[in-house]
Amino acid sequence: MPKVLLVDDAAFMRMRCAKLLTENGYSVDEAENGQDAVEKYQKIKPDLVLMDITMPVMDGLTAVAEIKKIDPEAKIVMCSALGQQNTVMSAIKAGAKDFIIKPYQPEKILSTIKRFVG
Amino acid sequence: MGLNLDASPEELKVFLEEADEHFQTLEEDLIRLEKEEEFNEDLMQEIFRASHTLKGSSATIGHNRMAQLTHGMENVLDKLRKKQLTVTSDLVDIMFECLDCLKVLRDEILNDEESDLELGDILGKLGSVHDAAPGSDSPTTTQPAPDKTSGKQTEAKISIDLSWEERDTLANASERGLKPYVIQLLFDVELEMLAVRTFVTLMALNETGEMLKSNPSADEIEREQVTDTLVMLILMKDDEAKIREVISTLPNIAQYEIQPFNDNVTQGEAPVIQRVEKVGEAEAECDEAESGDRNKINEAKNKAPTAAKNNNAKKANRTVRVDVELLDSLMNLVGELVIDRTRLFQILGNLEANYEMDEVSQDLGRTSVHIARVTTQLQEQIMKARMLPVENLFNKFPRMVRDLSQKAGKEVDFVMTGQETELDRSIIEEIGDPLIHLLRNAVDHGIEPPDQRVAKGKPRIGQLKLQASHEENHIIITIKDDGRGIDPEVVKKSGVKKGMITEEQAKRLTDKEAINLIFMSGLSTVAKVSDVSGRGVGMDVVRNNIEKINGATEIDSAVDKGTEFKIKLPLTLAIIRALLVSIDKSVYAIPLSSVTETIRMQQDQIEYVNNQEVIVVRGKVLPLVRLKKVFRNSYDIEDRGKLFVVVVNLAGQQVGLVVDSLVGEQEIVIKTLGKYIGDVQGISGATILGDGNVALIVDVSNLIKKAAS
C-alpha cells in the first residue's frame, strides 16, 4: 500500500483528506507542521508527501527544502490556496513535484497522487 | 433552507471546533496587536494563519460565504503582514466586525440554515482598505489573467530564437545520439495559477531529455509572464512516443503537438497550434460537465440521510456531548442517593443503639459505609462533569471591554486571571449577565477619562481586573477598577431624592451601608444616562441574579481609589452545606454560605431600639429576627433565659436569627417547594433529612430585607 504523509495544521483538513486517501487504498500518516513532517518523513519514508504551506513552527516551503536535504528523491506535492502562487513556485524550484489548489477536489487529489505513486 | 454543506457530521464537528479556536485566536491577537506599540510579526503571522486556515476549511466544506469573507480578510491581513498597511483602531474595528460576521456564519452551520446576514457591506469595507494599500494588484486577485490574452496568443507566432551557442549544441546533438523535438502545449482555459502549472510542466518534460530552449523561458514563467501556450525544444534519446507518454500523465493540457525539429523551424518560427474552434465547444462542454456534476452532488446531498439535519449532532464540543438535562437528572438522582446515605447512617445508628449487633447487621454496617463512600465519590464526579472553566464565559470580555472603552473614550488595561477556575455550568449561565453589567459599569462610570485621570495624578490608563479563584467551598469572582469609586454622600443624596430613604435614615447610614444602597432598585447616581449603563436598572438585578443562585455580592469602594466587587458563588446549585436549627421541634436549614457565627446568649442581653429587638455583638448592633415569630406566627416568647442566635450576613448586612436550638451541620439537597405551594415568604425550598423528615430551607436574603424594612 503506498504511504502518503499528510501535512496540514488544520485537523479538519487532515481528517477529510485522510478519509479520502484511506478509502482509495493509501496508507496515511499525518503531521501537523513542517517540523513534524520532517521528523515523520525520516521515520516513515512515505512514497509521497502532501504539504500545506501556511503552518506554525515550520512552514511548508522550509519543510520541502529540509526533506529534500534528507532525501533528494522525495516526492512532494504542495497544497496551496489561491494567491500563494509565488510560494508554490519557490516550492517547485526547491524540489516539490506538483501542486494542488484548495479547496480540494477529490478527483484532482487522487489523480495527482496516482501520477506519482500509482 | 439548509446549507447543503459537503461534509459529514463528524467532519463538521472538527471543523467547528477548529473554527472556534481560530475565532479565539483572532479575538485575542487582534486586541494584542492593537495594544502593542511595536509591530509584532509573530502575532501578525498567527492572525494571518488563523484566517487563512479558516478560508481553506470553509471553502472545502462548501461554505461559500465564509470562504468569501475570510478571503477578503486574508487580503487585508496580507497587506498588514507585508507592512503595506498599518494597524489602526479603525482597521481593528473592521476585523472585529468580520469576526462577528464569521460567528454568524458559523451559527449557520449549527442551525443548518442560512442567516439573513449581508456580506456586501463588510466586503466593501475590506475591499476599500485593501485597495487603498500600495501594491494592490498583487497575486491575491482571484481572477487568472490568461482568458483575456488567450485569443490573441493563439494567433501570434511563437518563435524559437536560438543563440549561436544553442545552435552549436543543436548541431552536435546527433553526434551524441540525441534527436531534437519541438513540443507545443496548450493549457486548459481559465486555469488557476497558470504560471506554476506551466513551470511544473516544464520541469516534468525537462526530465525526458535536455531542454535546449523554451518559450516562455523558465525565468519568464517565474515572473508570471505566461500565456496558455508553452513551446519547448528538447534534445532526447527516445522518440516522441516517450514524450507522449509523459504528457499523457500531466494534468491540464488541452492539446499538444510534437514535431521533430527541422530546418523550417531553425529559421526561427514554429508552426503555431491554433486553439481549435473547439474552444467554444470545449468551454460549453466543460460548463455542462461542471453543472452536471453539481447536479449530481446536489442530488446526492438531497439523498443524504435526514440525520444530517439533526443539529445536536453537529454542534461543536471537545469531547462527548451530553444533554444538560441528562446532567441535571443525574444530579437529581445523586441528590436522592445523598439523602439515603444520611438516612442509612441514621438507621444504622438506631440499630446499634437498640439491638445487639450480630454478623448480619455488621455486614449491613460495612456495606452501608461502602455505599456512602461510593455515593460521595459519585456526587463529586457528577459535580465535576457539570463543571466548566469560567474561561468559556470570560473569553468574550476582553473584546467587550475594548469596544466599550473605545466608545466611552477611556483607556483601559483589562487583565483577567484564574480563567481555569471551574464552576457548575448552570452557575456560569447565571452569572454572565451580572458580570457584563459590572464590567460595563466599571468602564463607563468607574474609570475616568484619561485627561481627568492625569489631572488627579493617576496613570493615564485605567486598570480593570477580573479575577476568579477558589476559596474553600466557594468560587470568588472579583471585579476591581482603579477609577473614581463610589461616593457614599452622592449615593445618600440620590437615595433621599428618589424617596427611597428619609434624610434621617441617610444621616445614620455608615459609608458601607450607603454604598450598598446602589443595590436598591431605581437608584442611579449618574447624571447622564449613557448608551450602556446608568439607567437605574441593573445593580438590583445583578444582586438578585446572584442571590438566586445562593451567591453573595460585596462592594468595597473608596473615592478616587476605585471599586471592588466581590461575588461569592457556591460550587453547585443542587447540594449545599447547611446549618440545621430547630424551631418548635421542626427542623429548618440555613445555607452555611450566609452564616457568619452562632452565639449563645442570655435573654436579658436583648436590648430595644425603636421597639426592635437587638443585641450588641462586639460593639456592633445586630437586629434580631425571631424565626418562631416569622414561621410559626407564635408570639409567646417564653423566657428560657438562654437563647441561640445564628448570625447571617448577606452583602454586608447582618441579622441575628433567633432559634430554639442548633441541630448540626449537614449536606442537603435542595428541592423546590413545587408549584402548588408556590412562593412562601422566607422559605426558599425544602430538603429531606436523614430521618426522612422534611426540613424547610430558610431564605436568608428575604429575611434580611424584611428586617431592614
Report yes or no: B218 and B153 within 8 Å, Cβ to Cβ: no
Cell of B476: 470568588
Contacts of A17 in chain B (CB under 8 A): none
CA-to-CA distance for B385 and B374, rounded, in angstroms?
A: 16
What would the mean pLDDT of B451-459 be, rounded to a whole number?
91
Strand ranges (DSSP E) for chain A?
3-7, 27-31, 48-52, 76-80, 98-101
CB interface of B with A, residues 181-200, below 8 Å: 192-193, 195-196, 199-200
pLDDT in the model for residue A42? 93
Cell 443503639 belongs to B353
What would the mean pLDDT of B262-285 be, rounded to a whole number?
46
Q: Is the pLDDT of residue B269 over 70?
A: no
How far does CA B705 lie from the centroid of its chain? 37
Where in the sequence numbering do the catalytic residues of B fall? 52, 74, 441
Length of chain A: 118
Q: Is A116 on the interface with B (CB under 8 A)?
A: no
**Cβ-nearest to B56 among A11, A81, A97:** A81
Cell 430538603 belongs to B687
What would the mean pLDDT of B66-95 be, rounded to a whole number?
88
**Cβ-nearest to A102 among B56, B249, B251:** B56
pLDDT in the model for residue A33? 92
CATH of domain B146-276: 3.30.70.1110
Least confident of B424-433, B528-537, B549-558, B666-675: B528-537
- Per residue in B157-198, pLDDT (tens digit) is 445 667 777 777 777 777 788 888 888 888 887 778 888 888
pLDDT in the model for residue B478? 94
Q: Is B10 on the interface with A (CB under 8 A)?
A: yes
Nearest CA distance, B8 vs chain A (angstrom): 9
Using DSSP's 3-state secondary structure scheme, residue B680 falls into strand
pLDDT in the model for residue B533? 45
CATH of domain B389-570: 3.30.565.10
Q: Which residues make beta-bridge pairs with B575?
A: B669
What would the mean pLDDT of B519-542 be, rounded to a whole number?
57
Count of domains observed in chain A: 1
CATH 1.20.120.160 range(s) for chain B read 9-132
- Per residue in B127-137, pLDDT (tens digit) is 888 888 776 54
Cβ neighbourhood burial of B75 (10 Å; 0-12, 13-18, 19+):
buried
Cell of A27: 496508507
Contacts of A19 in chain B (CB under 8 A): 11
CATH 3.30.565.10 range(s) for chain B read 389-570
Contacts of A56 in chain B (CB under 8 A): 46, 49
CA-to-CA distance for B282 and B272, rounded, in angstroms?
A: 19
Report yes or no: B343 and B690 within 8 Å, Cβ to Cβ: yes
Residues of chain A with pLDDT under 50: none
* Mean of per-residue pLDDT scores for chain B: 79
CA-to-CA distance for B61 and B6, rounded, in angstroms?
A: 5
* Residue B165 phi, psi (nearest 5): -60, -45
CA-to-CA distance for B540 and B145, rounded, in angstroms?
A: 64
**Cβ-nearest to B18 among A10, A92, A102:** A10
pLDDT in the model for residue B304? 40
ipTM of this complex > 0.85? Answer: yes
CA-to-CA distance for B567 and B546, rounded, in angstroms?
A: 8
Domain housing A43: 3-117
Say which CATH number the domain at A59 has. 3.40.50.2300
Q: Is A20 on the interface with B (CB under 8 A)?
A: no
Q: Which residue of B has its CA nearest to A96?
A: B200
pLDDT in the model for residue B301? 41
Using DSSP's 3-state secondary structure scheme, residue B45 falls into helix
What would the mean pLDDT of B199-226 be, rounded to a whole number?
84
Pairing between β-strand B462-471 and β-strand B412-417 as defined by DSSP bridges: parallel
Q: Please give the full DSSP string across B117-145, using - where no structure is assigned.
A: ---HHHHHHHHHHHHHSTT-SSTT-SS-S
Q: Which residues contact B55 (CB under 8 A, 6 or more apart)?
A: A81, B67, B70, B71, B73, B74
CA-to-CA distance for B493 and B578, rounded, in angstroms?
A: 39
Considering only residues B308 and B601, tell me which one the structure prediction assigns the higher pLDDT.
Answer: B601
Nearest CA distance, B73 vs chain A (angstrom): 13
Contacts of B53 in chain A (CB under 8 A): 9-10, 13, 54
pLDDT in the model for residue B522? 64
Cell of B70: 475570510
CB interface of B with A, residues 216-275, below 8 Å: 222, 224, 249-251
Q: Please give the full DSSP string across B512-575, using - where no structure is assigned.
A: HHHHHGGGSTT----SS--SSS-SS-SHHHHHHHHHHTT-EEEEEEETTTEEEEEEEEES-SSE
Contacts of B251 in chain A (CB under 8 A): 108, 111-112, 115
Angle at B244 between CA B243 and CA B248, to 5 degrees: 120
Considering only residues B304 and B443, tell me which one the structure prediction assigns the higher pLDDT.
Answer: B443
Nearest CA distance, A103 vs chain B (angstrom): 5
Fold assignment, B9-132 = Four Helix Bundle (Hemerythrin (Met), subunit A) (1.20.120)
Q: Which residue of A has its CA nearest to B192?
A: A82
Amino acid at B283: E
Cell 509591530 belongs to B39
pLDDT in the model for residue B709? 64
CATH 3.30.70.1110 range(s) for chain B read 146-276
CATH of domain B575-708: 2.40.50.180
pLDDT in the model for residue B526? 52
Cell 515550520 belongs to A58
- Per residue in B369-386, pLDDT (tens digit) is 888 889 888 888 888 888
- Per residue in B1-53, pLDDT (tens digit) is 577 888 888 888 888 888 998 998 899 888 888 888 788 888 888 899 899 88
* Mean of per-residue pLDDT scores for chain A: 90
Q: Which residues contact B569 (CB under 8 A, 6 or more apart)?
A: B423, B427, B431, B474, B475, B476, B477, B546, B549, B550, B551
A88·B59 Cβ contact <8 A: no
pLDDT in the model for residue B529? 41
